[in-house]
Amino acid sequence: MPPLMFLAVVGAAGLAGYRLLSALARQGQEAARREAARMKRATAPVRDLGNLEWDEAAGVYRPRPKHEG
């Protein structure tokens, strides 16, 4: 009977360890997926605004207006 109890304890510990490692792996994959999505948003294509000129009133650079001629 003691060997059977030992196998039951080892089996239960193995199952608990498997579930723990599985949950940790799932969390790691979700974190990696979120980070990849964040990096994709952060590296979105940059628009070309053309030539910029300094706007004294606002204190920022703004696109130079296009003059049709």
Q: Where are the domains of the chain?
A: 2-63
Q: Provide the pLDDT for residue 68.
A: 58
Q: What tens-digit pLDDT sequence spans the chain (69 residues)? A: 789 999 999 999 999 999 999 999 999 999 999 999 999 888 878 788 888 999 999 999 998 887 754
- What one-character-per-residue DSSP string does 3-69 give? HHHHHHHHHHHHHHHHHHHHHHHHHHHHHHHHHHHHHHHHTPPPP---SEEEETTTTEEEEPPPPP-
Q: pTM here?
A: 0.53
